[in-house]
Amino acid sequence: MGDLISFEGNAQGYRFLISKSLQLTYPVLGAFSKYPCGSMCVHSKENRISQKKYGYFQSEKDRFTEMANALGLTHMNVNEQSWCRYPLAFLVEAADDICYHIIDLEDGCTLGFVNEETTTSLLKEIISDEFDVKKYKKIPTGQQRIGLLRAMTINKLVSQAAATFFENEPEILKGKFDSPLKAYSF
């Protein structure tokens, strides 16, 4: 029934990945599965970020269970259809967050919704001491300047996310860490 109440793109993505003849490995599917719970267990009482949406439909329950067991994912106490995240899912989520936010800002600038000065200021705040005003002023166009700042910002945020992952790795591996990496780093 949960499958029919609301559409969930994450579950549809999982369905797509296992329904095609891609033959993806369990670690790849685990890294994709940001929400390792079925449609019947969403909004659990534990309030875990990894449980706020569902990651697979009931029609894929057996395949998801097989993957979760093969990866050694820890069952949540709430429900047999709910597991702790596969560790690499935290990195995929961070990459997703980083790219969407920074590239959306760059697109907003390119389309004229956000001016170059504001965009530069926001990105400069993130890259801080790596910002070189002299080099920046030598770049001929606004689009090239923002492109450089975008690349530098993504690099900085990826480094921060990786550091946060390694700092929390023991808790991540035990299934006790359930926050986006960005909450601790950027």
Is the confidence at residue 183, as pLDDT, over 70?
yes
pLDDT (tens digit per residue) in 42-84: 655 456 788 888 999 999 999 999 999 999 998 886 557 889 9
Residues of the chain with pLDDT > 90: what percent?
66
Q: Where in the chain is the domain with CATH 1.10.3210.10?
A: 2-85
Cα end-to-end distance, the chain, whole Å: 38
56 touches 30 (CB < 8 A) = no
Annotate 63-132 with DSSP letters as a single string. Answer: HHHHHHHHHTPPBPSS-TTBBPPPHHHHHHHHHHHHHHHHHHHHHHHHTTSS-HHHHHHHHHHHHGGG--
More confident residue, 131 or 185: 131
Fold of 88-185: putative deoxyguanosinetriphosphate triphosphohydrolase fold (1.10.3410)
Amino acid at 168: N
Q: Where are the CATH 1.10.3410.10 domain residues in the chain? A: 88-185
Q: Are 51 and 35 in contact (CB under 8 A)?
A: yes
Identify the weakest region by mean pLDDT among 30-34, 109-113, 131-135.
Answer: 131-135
Homologous superfamily (CATH) of 2-85 is: Hypothetical protein af1432 (1.10.3210.10)
